[in-house]
Every structure is written in structure tokens, then in C-alpha cells.
Amino acid sequence: MTQSPTFETTFYVRYAETDQMGVVHHAAYVVWFEEGRSAWMRSLGSNYADFEAEGLNLAVSEVHARYVAPALYGRQVTVRTRGDEIRSRSAKICYEVVDTESGRTLVTGYTRHICVDREGQVVRIPDRWRKLLAASKAPEADS
């Protein structure tokens, strides 16, 4: 299967994200996934604020992270984000966090999202949004 294209966003590890030894706390990666997801949406030509302005949210229904190596204070990290499964009411977004200088993988993971309206009811992702998200996917390889 062909991987979909990725979008990269790079930033420095902030002191507040680390423990006394300068190692990033595990919960910070979930925030970094969100930053990657927001940058990815902007790279597609829109942003999540526009989605919310239509009265919709992509509520996080699942988070998975596999910690491979620690991120350290003062280092630059790059979050690589790509769409994986874009369905009528849900989406799965994948991430890889790497040390920017060495390219070493630090964390891999994904988030699953379900589309809900302002009342919290599950609804279909509007066609234009689903097409926008799906446009970031590479075509499936022939079997």
C-alpha cells in the first residue's frame, strides 16, 4: 500500500514540556500531534477554525503513541503528519515525531476523530471537507 504524502512542521522543544532531566513528558506528544494536525490542515488550504465555524468538530476518539526515544530540551523536533483513513463520519491521522538534526524517530502514533455537531451528535463530514482531507492521500497501489 502506498503511503499518503506527509506535511512537516518543525519547532524547538520548550522547557515547560520537560522534566527536571530535560526529557519531554509523554503528554507533550499529544499536544505536538495537535500542532501537526493543525499545520497539516492549513497546508491543505484551510484550517480547523473554518471547520468549527460551520458548527462542526472533529472530536478525538482515540490516541495512540509509541515512544521510541526521548525528545530533549533545546533540540528541534519535526512532526510529520498525514491523513490515513478518511471516512464519512471519521478520520484517522498519523504522526511521526523525529529529531530534526539526526532524523531519529522519537515517537509514532495516530489519532482517530469522529465528526460531531454543536450538540455533540455524530454527523457526516461535509463532502467538501472530506474531499479536502482525502486529497492529501496518495492513491492506493494496485494489488
Class of residue 77 by CB neighbours under 10 A (exposed 0-12, middle 13-18, buried 19+): buried
Active site residue 117: no
Q: CA distances (Å), 65 to each of 8, 56, 84, 104, in order? A: 18, 26, 15, 16
Query: Strand 90-99 to strand 105-117: parallel, antiparallel, or no bridges (unpaired)?
Result: antiparallel
pLDDT for position 26? 95
Instruction: Give pLDDT tens digits for 83-110.
Output: 999 999 999 999 999 999 999 999 999 9
Please indicate whether residue 54 or residue 47 has the higher confidence score (pLDDT). Answer: 54
CATH of 7-134, one of 3.30.365.10, 3.40.50.300, 3.10.129.10, 3.40.50.620: 3.10.129.10
pLDDT for position 46? 85
Instruction: Give pLDDT tens digits for 11-53.
Output: 999 999 999 999 999 999 999 999 999 999 898 888 889 999 9
Tell me which residue of 134, 93, 131 sits closest to 112, measured CA to CA.
93
Query: Strand 7-12 to strand 76-86: parallel, antiparallel, or no bridges (unpaired)?
Result: antiparallel
All structural domains of the chain with their residue ranges? 7-134
Q: Which one of 19, 99, 117, 142 is the catalytic residue?
A: 19
- Whether this prediction's pTM lies above 0.85 is answered by yes
Taking all residues of the chain, what is their mean pLDDT, rounded to a whole number?
91
**What is the rounded CA–CA span in Å between residue 122 and residue 48?**
18
